[in-house]
Structure 1
Amino acid sequence: MILNVTNSPFDKEQAEKINTILSTTSKEQKVWLSGYLTANNLLDTPEETGENIPQYQTAVMTPRETREVTILYGSETGNAQILSESMASLLKEKDFHVSISAMNDFKSNKLKKVEDLIIISATHGEGTAPENAVDFYEFLHSRKAPNLKDLRFAVLSLGDESYEYFCQAGKDFDQRLEELGGERIVPRVDCDVDYDDAAEEWINSVISSIFETGGQNVDVPKEAVSTAGVTTEYSRKNPYMAEVLDNIRLNGRGSEKETRHIELSIEDSGLTFEPGDCIGIFPKNDEVLVDQLITLLGWDPDYRVNAGKNEETVTTKAALRTHFEITKLTKPLMKKLSEVFGNESLTSYLEDDDRIREYIYGRDLIDLISDFPPVGLTQETLFPVLRKMPAREYSIASSCAANPDEVHLTIGAVRYHSNSRDRNGVCSVEIAERIEPGEQIPIYVHRNPNFKFPFDDTTPVIMIGPGTGIAPYRSFIEEREELGIEGNTWLFFGEQRFTTDFLYQTDWQNWLNEGTLGRLDLAFSRDTEEKVYVQHLIQESGKDFYQWIKSGASIFVCGDEKKMAKDVHDSILKVLEEEGDMSRDDAEMYLSSMKNEKRYQRDVY
């Protein structure tokens, strides 16, 4: 932890001197110094200090004598859970008493007895708590919430700055705990999708602050956070350069879609994964788009800048291609840019939130610069404001057991026209148009503990995944084939046309014939006069669907969140109502219990 006037009793000059000394000392020297200062303090007499020394200070406290730490996480894609597990491991290594659980597994009536509470929460959609945090969130904001005057707490909030209500769930938890009387251990930190450094610093700060109860400091391993849950030297902070083995278009001629099947080599990387996990890819911005931006600003593309925390410089063009996001505008970014643009019209424009929301849809940095020309904008003023290039994560479409040296992905190219310009998905179109076999791309494995399949021959599994949502099911079935597990699987798949868009058609038909896949229901919306989607198939097969549920089936949903996942959810509720003779409230409670039992899992985006 870096000392300053806000987190220590030292003034600025003292803090700077201590930081300078600590930065040059080894771990052993820090341990010796800690013991020396503690012993020296205990040997001071009342006459020397002018204070009465309580009896309990006759021995150095240990972490076992500190308060118990409770870690609760609200996680949608697994990031909050992974960080929580990492923090718990670090605390346990220091002999702390630690309990950790998802918020929906925590008994709310125990909250009043909690001493040190750590909350790590993502934010779902437009500012709501993740599914496994909703009940705890509602309890905390209800009249049943207890007085927490004896509680100390700290909140780490994960989110995506492209959403208007960035990190709102974490902000709400933090504010409510304070309202109930809790005392902050450290200030809340709000993290964007590139959360590693900020989360690492926050965890260091929290653990160090808690450890002060024991009269000691703690040296948290620098890479403890970013490598959590990954048994390899490669991670998001240190991606593996994977060779592209194959890049195939899955759609037939005449299709309105372009879906790519990508095969990457991970031989000798040490990377492993399970069905349901994802691969993160760090893309590059389109060179044509970067050149347009540089020309618009009148900059020298070869002018060297520092684009990161290290001292190494890169050219302006390289920085814009690999380091920064330039194709997406957000409300927070717009407000930051207004401070460096020096354009009064932009400042005035940002006074209306509704106008901001309308403007940022389908526009990018080039649009903003064209519409509100900046005055004297330089690399040194723009780059610190821009968002770092976020990785794009894709569900894995292959089994590690079946193909240990490869990983397969299913990526749909995103193209659309908006505000008089053609637009492309940064990563998907780079893969579709500019990445050839033999080239290398930076990747990492993202573990997804909230989308895990059962591997036995007794649990029925229902898989719902139109479009590229088919990817994790290919991984799952391929692994079941490798393990020799047959049947009890039912797949719902949908796309536009049977002849051009039946992704992995041969694979599914072979697995169906062999018995690895038990049942396959298909919906091709453009092949019928009235469009039919997977949610319609669920209701048409309602009687069988309900019997599978009653037989203990686990349901998995993967794909578009805004429409498909919502419609599928409603269809399942209707099946429970009609076939299970339930009221809507009872059906919702039933489905909620399935979530808690991990029998209803969703990977939606």
Structure 2
Amino acid sequence: MSTSFIPETAPFNEEQRAWLNGFFAGMMGMQPGGDASAVMNAAGVSAGSLPGVAVQENEPEPEEDFPWHDDSLPIVDRMALAEGKPVERRLMAAMAQLDCGSCGYLCKTYSEAIASGEETNLTLCSPGGKETSKMIKQVLKESGDGGAAPAKPANGTAAGGTSAAGFSRKTPYSAKLIESRPLNGEGSAKDTRHVAIDLGDSDIRYEVGDALGIYPTNCGELVEAIVAAIGADPKLLTVTPGGEPKSLANALCEDFCLKDPSDELLELALSRVSDIAIKTTLSEMLEEGAPDGFDVLDVLQLAGAVPISATEFLETLSPLNPRLYSIASSQACVGNQVHLTVGKVTYDRDGRLRKGAASTMLADRLEPGATLRVFTQANHGGFTVPSDPNTPMIMVGPGTGIAPFLAFLQERDATKSPGKNWLFFGDQHAATDFLYQEELQAYLDAGLLTRLDTAFSRDGAEKVYVQDRMKQNAAELWTWLQQGAHFYVCGDASRMAVDVDRTLKAIVASEGGMSEKAAEDYVASLSKAKRYVRDVY
């Protein structure tokens, strides 16, 4: 069968067509492994130069769709959506899907860094917690040596990694604590602090909406109890993950996570105990995960007086990861300082007081003037004030979620932005938990804060939350959205943010006269346009 190189649509007669086909066929014979395009190139003829030949241009590859990248989906559903995908995509589905930056990456780039071997710490996804780290290990175990090919190197961190001043997650700055001032009134069930930190001459710059990373230290009492449980000398010289020699006590205080026990620690304890009941308990934890609040000391106490050396114990521990806090200040107002709003975390479990490492460090263990290691993490997904100073802002920030919105208001005040500002704030009791009441009232009096709607859930017979205040002001909220307002949410992802999202869609449907599907599409369009942005954890 003869091959025709000349399209039927080309304007040649039969004799010309036969001659050209013969010419190209002859050229093909001189080209080992050649094809029509190679022959035509050799002859100095391009397909596009032939009359009547349409050349299809290369279409840009469509952006990859990640259907599991939805923080409202349970992890089992996300993993089902990623079934059959390469290992880096299954790892991504295991993440919390918040792109919060607490890991120093985005969900996509963190998973790619793990798959490529560039990142070995599997516990950086703070919002995902044990659920995520357990799934990551399962995916890696299932992939084995026959898993997907390594992903391309991750494109840096969510923040670009290093500040202009040269400080980063890997090279933090030693800042000084200015104050840790209680914000709650006497009798409150909470202990929330306004934390001010001096950045000194570091030349660190940040934008409103950014976060501050802080490397915590563990409570000394917890460290002492753990050293005693393994029967070690606290002065024993050891080497930290960073290669620095330290005493065992200092290493446990500064370098290792003592909160969630690793599978390796559970396996070590299981290999040493002989009691059948304890073995069963440890086996169940390996299979289902340790109970909430069950920490490293609990494992050692459960195992009892079994021989565990300091060296093998340290090998089972995860690194002590930094904590990220939404910045509650604008540098246009505070200069070389950075402010935070931090809720102190303590609770009792089995007769022992458990303490959040970073929050109790900031509230109790550091005195003014003490140093702490910090770095800045850039905001993600447009979580910052609108570029147009005339654009209205609606901010929903209950509890410590108010932090970034203090920064937003300071920025708007400093830049004399004329756009309207509406804040929804909620907590337990107005008398004791109205965080920054004086500052907010001053903004109201000055006209910077156009509206302030509060919801104090424990002050009435029925609990009232920020989403309830949104419903009560649905018509006005819809009007602001129609005027181009940006809608921001900061706070708890699992409950508050879900309720606020559901309420926003209901308001759009009712006030906009839309179907449920149309309202969802409208809210999705707000997100795509960076007019609906969340900083949730």
Band of TM-score, shorter chain: 0.7 to 0.9
Q: State the distance in 1 between where 2:137 and 2:62 align.
A: 16
Picking from 194, 208, 230, the partner of 2:163 is 230
- 8 Å CA contact 1:122, 1:170 repeated in 2: no
Q: Give the structure 2 partner of residue 266 of structure 1.
A: 199
Q: CA deviation at 1:338?
A: 4.5
- 8 Å CA contact 1:290, 1:317 repeated in 2: yes
Q: Which amino acid is 2:476 matched to?
A: D
Picking from 221, 241, 245, the partner of 1:308 is 241
Q: Give the structure 2 partner of residue 88 of structure 1.
A: none
Q: CA deviation at 1:317?
A: 0.4
Q: CA deviation at 1:535?
A: 0.7
Q: Give the structure 2 partner of residue 428 of structure 1.
A: 359
Picking from 168, 180, 185, the partner of 1:252 is 185
- 8 Å CA contact 2:391, 2:419 repeated in 1: no
Structure 1 runs not aligned, ≥5 long: 1-51, 57-67, 78-116, 138-152, 189-201, 208-222
Picking from 471, 475, 484, the partner of 1:543 is 475
Shift in alpha-carbon separation, 1:337–1:590, aligned structure 2, 3 A: farther
Q: Which amino acid is 2:330 matched to?
A: S
Q: CA deviation at 1:329?
A: 2.9
Q: State the distance in 2 between where 1:388 and 1:249 align.
A: 30
Q: CA deviation at 1:448?
A: 1.8
Q: CA deviation at 1:290?
A: 0.7
1:222-246 deviation digits (Å, cap 9, x = unpaired): x999963521221111111111112
| Residues 1:593 and 2:525 aligned together | yes
Q: Give the structure 1 partner of residue 230 of structure 2.
A: 297
Q: Secondary structure at the match of 1:293?
A: helix
Shift in alpha-carbon separation, 1:172–1:518, aligned structure 2, 3 A: farther
Picking from 391, 395, 398, the partner of 2:326 is 395
| Residues 1:285 and 2:218 aligned together | yes
- 8 Å CA contact 2:430, 2:456 repeated in 1: yes
Q: Give the structure 1 partner of residue 451 of structure 2.
A: 519
Q: State the distance in 2 between where 1:535 and 1:371 align.
A: 43
Shift in alpha-carbon separation, 1:518–1:308, aligned structure 2, 3 A: same
1:413-445 deviation digits (Å, cap 9, x = unpaired): 011122232211111112111111111111110
Output the TM-score relative to the length of structure 2: 0.74
Shift in alpha-carbon separation, 1:175–1:70, aligned structure 2, 3 A: farther
- 8 Å CA contact 2:393, 2:420 repeated in 1: yes
Q: State the distance in 2 between where 1:494 and 1:269 align.
A: 36
Q: Give the structure 1 partner of residue 56 of structure 2.
A: none
- Bigger relative contact order, structure 1 or 2 (CA pairs below 8 A, ≥6 apart): 2
Q: Comparing 504-513 with 386-395, which one deviates more in the overlay?
A: 504-513
Q: Secondary structure at the match of 1:561?
A: coil
Q: State the distance in 1 between where 2:254 and 2:370 align.
A: 16
Q: State the distance in 1 between where 2:69 and 2:170 align.
A: 21
Shift in alpha-carbon separation, 1:576–1:435, aligned structure 2, 3 A: same
Q: State the distance in 1 between where 2:474 and 2:330 align.
A: 31
Output the TM-score relative to the length of structure 1: 0.66
Shift in alpha-carbon separation, 1:334–1:569, aligned structure 2, 3 A: farther
Q: State the distance in 2 between where 1:385 and 1:354 align.
A: 14
1:267-287 deviation digits (Å, cap 9, x = unpaired): 211211111111111111110
Q: Secondary structure at the match of 2:218?
A: coil
Q: State the distance in 2 between where 1:118 and 1:351 align.
A: 27
Q: State the distance in 2 between where 1:554 and 1:320 align.
A: 45
Q: Which amino acid is 2:404 matched to?
A: P
Q: Which amino acid is 2:513 matched to?
A: D
For residues 312-461 of structure 1, the aligned pairs below 5 Å read: 312-329=244-261, 332-338=263-269, 341=272, 345=276, 348-352=280-284, 356-357=288-289, 359-373=290-304, 375-450=306-381, 451-461=383-393
- Larger radius of gyration between Structure 1 and Structure 2: 2
Q: CA deviation at 1:557?
A: 0.5
Q: Secondary structure at the match of 1:164?
A: helix
Q: State the distance in 1 between where 2:250 and 2:137 align.
A: 35
Q: State the distance in 2 between where 1:414 and 1:347 align.
A: 31
Shift in alpha-carbon separation, 1:228–1:326, aligned structure 2, 3 A: closer
Q: Give the structure 2 partner of residue 17 of structure 1.
A: none
- 8 Å CA contact 1:122, 1:167 repeated in 2: no
Q: State the distance in 2 between where 1:298 and 1:448 align.
A: 45
Q: Which amino acid is 2:520 matched to?
A: E
Q: Which amino acid is 1:406 matched to?
A: Q
Q: Secondary structure at the match of 2:334?
A: coil
Picking from 276, 292, 302, the partner of 2:209 is 276
Structure 2 runs not aligned, ≥5 long: 1-31, 39-59, 71-85, 101-106, 108-114
Q: State the distance in 2 between where 1:368 and 1:166 align.
A: 18
Shift in alpha-carbon separation, 1:166–1:366, aligned structure 2, 3 A: closer
1:328-358 deviation digits (Å, cap 9, x = unpaired): 235x45555447656675654454469744x
1:161-209 deviation digits (Å, cap 9, x = unpaired): 8322338599989999x99xxx9553x5xxxxxxxxxxxxx83xx99xx
| Residues 1:488 and 2:420 aligned together | yes
Q: State the distance in 2 between where 1:580 and 1:467 align.
A: 30
- 8 Å CA contact 1:539, 1:571 repeated in 2: yes
Q: State the distance in 1 between where 2:179 and 2:158 align.
A: 33
- 8 Å CA contact 2:491, 2:535 repeated in 1: yes
- 8 Å CA contact 2:130, 2:260 repeated in 1: no
Q: Secondary structure at the match of 2:129?
A: coil
Q: State the distance in 1 between where 2:334 and 2:195 align.
A: 14
Q: Give the structure 1 partner of residue 486 of structure 2.
A: 554
1:141-176 deviation digits (Å, cap 9, x = unpaired): xxxxxxxxxxxx979897458322338599989999
Shift in alpha-carbon separation, 1:127–1:483, aligned structure 2, 3 A: closer
Q: CA deviation at 1:387?
A: 0.5
Percent identity between matched residues is 32
- 8 Å CA contact 1:119, 1:156 repeated in 2: no
Q: Secondary structure at the match of 2:526?
A: helix
Q: Secondary structure at the match of 2:394?
A: strand
Q: State the distance in 1 between where 2:500 and 2:435 align.
A: 20
- 8 Å CA contact 1:416, 1:422 repeated in 2: yes
Q: Secondary structure at the match of 2:133?
A: coil
- 8 Å CA contact 2:478, 2:512 repeated in 1: yes
Shift in alpha-carbon separation, 1:506–1:129, aligned structure 2, 3 A: closer
Shift in alpha-carbon separation, 1:131–1:363, aligned structure 2, 3 A: closer
| Residues 1:583 and 2:515 aligned together | yes
Q: Secondary structure at the match of 1:401?
A: helix
Q: Secondary structure at the match of 2:194?
A: strand
Q: CA deviation at 1:360?
A: 2.5
- 8 Å CA contact 1:343, 1:372 repeated in 2: no
Q: Which amino acid is 1:378 matched to?
A: S
Picking from 150, 166, 169, the partner of 2:133 is 166
- 8 Å CA contact 1:335, 1:350 repeated in 2: yes
Shift in alpha-carbon separation, 1:122–1:458, aligned structure 2, 3 A: farther
Q: Secondary structure at the match of 1:523?
A: strand
Shift in alpha-carbon separation, 1:502–1:76, aligned structure 2, 3 A: farther
Q: State the distance in 2 between where 1:484 and 1:535 align.
A: 30
Q: Which amino acid is 1:320 matched to?
A: L
Q: CA deviation at 1:461?
A: 1.0
1:468-487 deviation digits (Å, cap 9, x = unpaired): 00000001110111101134
- 8 Å CA contact 1:343, 1:375 repeated in 2: no
